[in-house]
Amino acid sequence: MRKALITGITGQDGAYLSRFLLQRGYAVHGLLRRSASADVIGERLRWLGVIDDVVLHDGNLTDLSSAVRVVREIQPDEVYNLGAQSFVHASWQQPLLTGTVTGMGAVNVLEALRLECPTARFYQASSSEMFGKIQQEIQTERTPFYPRSPYAAAKLYAHWMTINYRESFGLHTSCGILFNHESPLRGIEFVTRKITDAVARIKLGTAREVKLGNIHAKRDWGHAADYVRAMWMMLQQDKPDDYVVATGRSTSIEEFCGMAFGYVGLDWHEFVKTDSHLLRPAEVEVLHGDAGKAREKLGWTPAIKLEDMVAEMVEADLQRHRARSTVVMPGIADLGKVAH
């Protein structure tokens, strides 16, 4: 039985990847950081029905000794480094933590592999945010990077360190430069889920409006279930490499609002307000990827259309709010005054 270790297993991608690997017969292990909310931390894995099928190991990306211990114990065939402080907006408020977790954390895992399990294959969750202030209209693996946030700079460090470990030590390390991908399990602070959650609450009469920042920004949005398949495909290649994963369609926040509100028969113009406090110190205005290399070399193409994903997300939020079992996946209102 092949063994996979996933950091960030409790996040959106970690949950979808766990399900994907379990379906393929893997033994799935995850690194779990200590939390005071241990009863709710596995909610995404529970939502997908896999919480009892994965093995969780205490550890933290910032703690080299825990990475070494877990890798030594498991001796994984494949390691997926998905753990990160992944919210771009928060990275300006917590730049050092973001650098430590999102940047150095990856190197802790790489070091653990070099020392304890150098034959394991390694996946690094790189990001389209590294393109930042875009240098080419359509971004590929060859587009120069221009990071625009502490998050993007941290990801770029981890990206180049992953390539360095491949070239310096011969480790089988690959980077997936993934564009935005969403799902009903997306964190509530990200714009797509913030919108679909608001749509559900407005439709059900428990909210009257939603405040957003820059609604003119454009993103290339795919579905997380499609994107975790690309991660796995990268590690099945004989030669490690780096790949852009994107849909090739760029859509504005406004257009996303139109789809989500339109799905329940509402006009978004009546409910979306803009709030300058939600603008970022530096914005990534537009991202638009070309996944031609992943298509040709991996045979990867996305299967889920944006419109279908929006419908799935709105339906899931309607279901959550109707059930009112929102303790584990709180609505925006429940998050109090945190500025997202």
151 as an active site residue: the answer is yes
Active site residue: 78, 116, 129, 182, which one? 129
Kindly tell me which residue out of 29, 44, 148, 219 binds ligand GDR, with binding defined by CB under 6 A.
Answer: 219
C-beta of 4: minimal distance to ligand NDP in Å? Answer: 15
Nearest residue (CB) to ligand GDR, 88 versus 199: 88
d(CA 57, CA 77): 17
d(CA 267, CA 253): 14
Nearest residue (CB) to ligand GDR, 282 versus 327: 282
Active site residue: 16, 26, 123, 151, which one? 151
d(CA 282, CA 173): 31
Q: Which stretch binds ligand GDR (CB under 6 A): 28-36, 41-49, 159-167, 188-196?
A: 188-196
d(CA 176, CA 290): 13
C-beta of 135: minimal distance to ligand GDR in Å? Answer: 17
Residue 280 site contact among ligand NDP, ligand GDR, none (CB < 5 to 8 Å, cut-off depends on kind): ligand GDR
Kindly tell me which residue out of 8, 132, 184, 240 binds ligand NDP, with binding defined by CB under 6 A.
Answer: 8
For 235, residues 6+ apart whose C-beta sits below 8 A from its C-beta are 78, 80, 121, 122, 123, 172, 174
d(CA 166, CA 141): 17
The CA radius of gyration of the chain, in Å to the nearest whole number, is: 19
Nearest residue (CB) to ligand NDP, 215 versus 245: 245
End-to-end CA distance of the chain: 42
The three-class DSSP label of residue 42 is: coil
Catalytic residues: 127, 129, 151
State the residues that interact with ligand GDR by CB under 6 A: 86, 88-89, 127-129, 179-180, 189-191, 194, 212-215, 217, 219, 253, 278, 280, 283-284, 340
